[in-house]
Amino acid sequence: MSFSSEVKEELSRQTDSARHCRIAFLTALFHMAPVLTEDTIGIRTDIGNAANAFAAVLKKVVSAPVREERRPRGKSCEVTITVSGKDEVRSLLEAMKFGTTPNSPMQSETEIRATLPSRLILQKTCCRKAYLRGVFLMTGSVSDPSKSYHLEIVFQREEDARMVVSLMESLGFGAKVSTRKGRFVVYLKESEQISDVLGAMGATGSLMKLENKRILRDIAGKINRQVNFESANLRKTGVTSKRQTEDIEFIEKTIGLSSLSASLRQAAQLRISMPDASLQELSDASEPHVGKSGINHRLKRLEIMADELRRGNRENM
Ligand SMILES: [Zn+2]
C-alpha cells in the first residue's frame, strides 16, 4: 500500500467525538460529491475511504438507517451513501447550513457543489481540522516521505482551493495553489508542515512513520558521509603503509635494519609486523611506548632514508 493510501486508510477511521466536528466533516464531503433529492441525502464517490468515513460519521449523526450501494464502474467502484426521509434531509441540510430557512427552496446538487460551505461550520479549530480531513480524503494525496515531501489536495473550483488555503492558514500552514490541467492544486512541500497537517487531520500513526523516515533519512545521510570519510582515510592508510613497508624492506636489503638506531628499528619492525595497522594501533603496540606522532615521525624518517638510499646518497644522511 502506498504511503498516501495508508494515510487515507487511517484518516477514514477517525469519526471525531463532537457533533460540530462530525457535521463539518460531512459538509466537506457532501459539498464535493452531493446526492440530494426531496427525501434522500448523501454522497456518491469512487473513493472508497471517503465513502467509508462518510458512512461511519453519518451513522453517528442520524438515527435513520444509512444505506450503502456499491456499483462497479470501470476499474473502480462507485459508492452511494444515503439516508432517506424528508425530515432527515431537512435537518441535515440545516445542520450543514445549506438552505437555512425552513421555507427556502432546496438547492440542486449542482448548486451545492457551487456554494462555498458556510463559515459558521468552520468557526472552531477542531471543525476546520475535520473539514480538512474530509477534503483530503476526497482528492488529497501525500508522497512517500522516503522519496520526497509533497502533500496536495486537488479542486475543480478555484474558490474551494482558496478557501482551503485560508483554512490551512488559520491552522498555521502556509499552503500554495498551482493549476494543473484546469484544476487547482493546494500543496505543501515542507516536511515539517506535512507532518503537522497529518497530525492535525488525525493521522498520527502515519505521522510517526513519516517522522521516523525523516529521521532515518537524516541518519542515513550522516552515516554515508561518515563511511565515505572513513573509507577515504582507510584507503589513504592502505597506500601509505604499503609504501612504508616497501621502504623498510628496501632499507633491510641495502643496509640492514640492524644499522638503524633503536628507535627507528622499533618503528620499522612494528610496521613490518603490522602492515595494515593505523598509526594509533602501531603506537598502542609499541614497547617501549611511543606516541602516535612519534611513530609517524619515525616512519617519515625511514621513508626519507629509503629515498636517499635509492638515490645512492647515503653519505648525506
Ligand atoms: Zn468541532
DSSP annotation of 64 reads S
**Ligand 1 center to 131 CA (angstroms):** 9
| Residues 6+ away with beta carbon under 8 Å from 259 | none
**Ligand 1 center to 121 CA (angstroms):** 9
Confidence of residue 230 (pLDDT cuts 50, 70, 90): low
**Ligand 1 center to 236 CA (angstroms):** 64
pLDDT of residue 96 exceeding 50? yes
**Ligand 1 center to 23 CA (angstroms):** 8
pLDDT of residue 128 exceeding 70? yes
DSSP of 278-312, one letter per residue? -HHHHHHH-SS---HHHHHHHHHHHHHHHHHHHTT
Specify which of 51-60, 195-204, 215-224 reaches the highest per-range mean pLDDT. 51-60
pLDDT of residue 160 exceeding 80? yes
With pLDDT > 70 as the criterion, what percentage of the chain qualifies?
A: 93
**Ligand 1 center to 14 CA (angstroms):** 13
> How far, rounded to the nearest angstrom, does the alpha carbon of residue 59 sit from its chain's CA centroid?
34
pLDDT of residue 80 exceeding 70? yes
**Ligand 1 center to 130 CA (angstroms):** 7
What pLDDT is stored for residue 317 in this prediction? Answer: 46
Mean pLDDT on 82-102: 88
**Ligand 1 center to 33 CA (angstroms):** 22
Mean pLDDT on 2-25: 94
Nearest alpha carbon to residue 193 among 178, 207, 213, 181: 207
Exposed/middle/buried for residue 181 (C-beta within 10 Å: 0-12, 13-18, 19+): exposed
**Ligand 1 center to 171 CA (angstroms):** 13
Mean pLDDT on 159-175: 96
- Classify the phi-psi angles of 312: left when phi > 0, otherwise alpha if psi is within -120 to 50, otherwise beta: left
pTM for the complete prediction? Answer: 0.69
Rounded CA gap, 306 and 299, in Å?
A: 11
What pLDDT is stored for residue 102 in this prediction? Answer: 63
Confidence of residue 255 (pLDDT cuts 50, 70, 90): confident
Phi/psi of residue 226, nearest 5 degrees: -65, -45
- The H-or-E segment that residue 77 falls in is strand 76-84
**Ligand 1 center to 132 CA (angstroms):** 12
Weakest-pLDDT range from 28-37, 94-103, 230-239: 230-239
Confidence of residue 60 (pLDDT cuts 50, 70, 90): very high
Specify which of 101-105, 111-115, 134-138, 286-290 reaches the highest per-range mean pLDDT. 134-138
Exposed/middle/buried for residue 137 (C-beta within 10 Å: 0-12, 13-18, 19+): buried
> How far, rounded to the nearest angstrom, does the alpha carbon of residue 105 sit from its chain's CA centroid?
47
Confidence of residue 258 (pLDDT cuts 50, 70, 90): confident
pLDDT of residue 316 exceeding 50? no
Contact 82, 54 (CB under 8 A): no
**Ligand 1 center to 20 CA (angstroms):** 5
Mean pLDDT on 254-266: 89
What pLDDT is stored for residue 309 in this prediction? Answer: 84
Weakest-pLDDT range from 152-156, 218-222, 239-243: 218-222
Please name every residue paired with 298 in a beta bridge, in sequence order, or none if there are none: none
pLDDT of residue 40 exceeding 60? yes
**Ligand 1 center to 128 CA (angstroms):** 7
Rounded CA gap, 276 and 282, in Å?
A: 10
Mean pLDDT on 148-165: 95
Distances (CA, A) of 56 to 18, 53, 193: 14, 5, 28
Rounded CA gap, 14 and 199, in Å?
A: 12
- Domains (ranges, CATH) in the chain? 3-202 (3.10.28.10), 234-316 (no CATH)
**Ligand 1 center to 126 CA (angstroms):** 4
Rounded CA gap, 222 and 213, in Å?
A: 14
DSSP annotation of 65 reads P
Contact 57, 22 (CB under 8 A): yes
With pLDDT > 90 as the criterion, what percentage of the chain qualifies?
A: 62
Q: What is the mean pLDDT of the chain?
A: 89
DSSP of 92-120, one letter per residue? HHHHTTSS-STTSPPPPHHHHHHSPPPGG
Weakest-pLDDT range from 34-48, 198-212, 233-247: 233-247
